[in-house]
Chains A and B, each alone.
Chain A
């Protein structure tokens, strides 16, 4: 197993003893689950229970996980940007409480051999669940460390066999003003839409998350299925996905449509390219306490060794 060097901040600096101990227990559980995955039949595939906060079973571990201190479940689930449920940070967890993400279908369209509409259960079943503990850097200059559970997006892409015309993958969130009260206001162009190049989407870091903290993904975090691309700003991680299209042209994303001078298609974490209104050089790690200074933001959020090659020759200042 690859042993990772501790990243930019010592966990002792930002974690209480309690949560640190819980974290070890948590990782141990993960390891047990991972072990059972080897003995049990992986052919069984990923299963996503429909009950809230139900434990996910057969969750493997990943070398991509960071060893940094994980943020508290409460922080991850009460401080969210999910405008479908309101624009304030505490609105998603309040307003998404009654949201029912089952049954759920995902439509796959465009330049691929296999297309169609799939039940969530069938969509995720061919793959094995993995825990990925990733840094999440929001474009608003704060960050968290989040233990996602998901399936590698690359495997999903391969399964649908995109043709040579498929240069990009476009994602869409559910559009339903009845169930998503924030959509009654045209703050953004609904449905929320995002996109990746095929090369980005098949990068091993990219996952579709269905869980958090070893449990079913909470509504406010994008239940039942969301994108996680940890080298990009958080808004690229589209939530509540109902549609995935293989397209030839670079799709327009919701934030790009809303403010093209502030949010680009790539949205790679980059401390050298500031947001027009604020600096991206440093970030506040949520949970680090009232008197902790901000920490330096890392290029590609510290995932450069896995993704920098995707952007060789690309002007990142222009393609922000």
Chain B
């Protein structure tokens, strides 16, 4: 156990120092990944697709309808435009990424990919259904990755008909800029599948941390109580939302405070994760803050709804008197 986690960290170090695609010790390029499949063209699927494509690997993204697939493509182009404005990429980088990613509604196209990453909503039944269908269309040796932050890999894997070839990889948004991935083994995940996942992490320049199946893994489990506590501080009238975020960003050099972070993720999503953790673990520390529940019921879901703990103009926090939402 210790051995494998150390190996893991080493792989992470190499991934940080090494260039894309090259294993420094052998000079061997990771050509085993030529084309990856992604199920789900939502925020996560799109973000993973962008990273995979910018690292030189072709991608097929499958959505449930051609209309949704087209919209996902537009959304990817929008994301790239925003990065271009921020000088993060160049016009040719954008062209290369868009040329490498194909959006379709036909799941059967994934049969021709080297590995499939499932990124549909954090809903156990939905993910099991995707696994079942992937199991039908893809050759039996193909590995499926499920991107989840809280759900049971073992349970999702069972639906695929090849549980030894399923593993969890929890990518974090924005995938191109977040150097971490949590690699989660289910009960039946084979060593070979695990090694392949590490190779993928390396090819994507991610530091991988191995996690044993447990709700929330590392980052979600540690983060959620912090967000929840920030909400309690506001609810109890201890401090304003503005000051909670100000204090936390200045004190811990965070780019975004916990409440704005929650707004940006989506308060409904945060509540879903909290609910799930609370139910799975049964510990009261994961009980969603009543203020969070209230905001979600009111439809104040955060950035995407234009208001949550704060008010938003598009993607930016609103300025002046309107900046803090009345709660």
- Chains A and B form a bound pair: no
| A residues lining the B interface (CB < 8 Å) | none
B residues contacting A by CB (< 8 A) are none
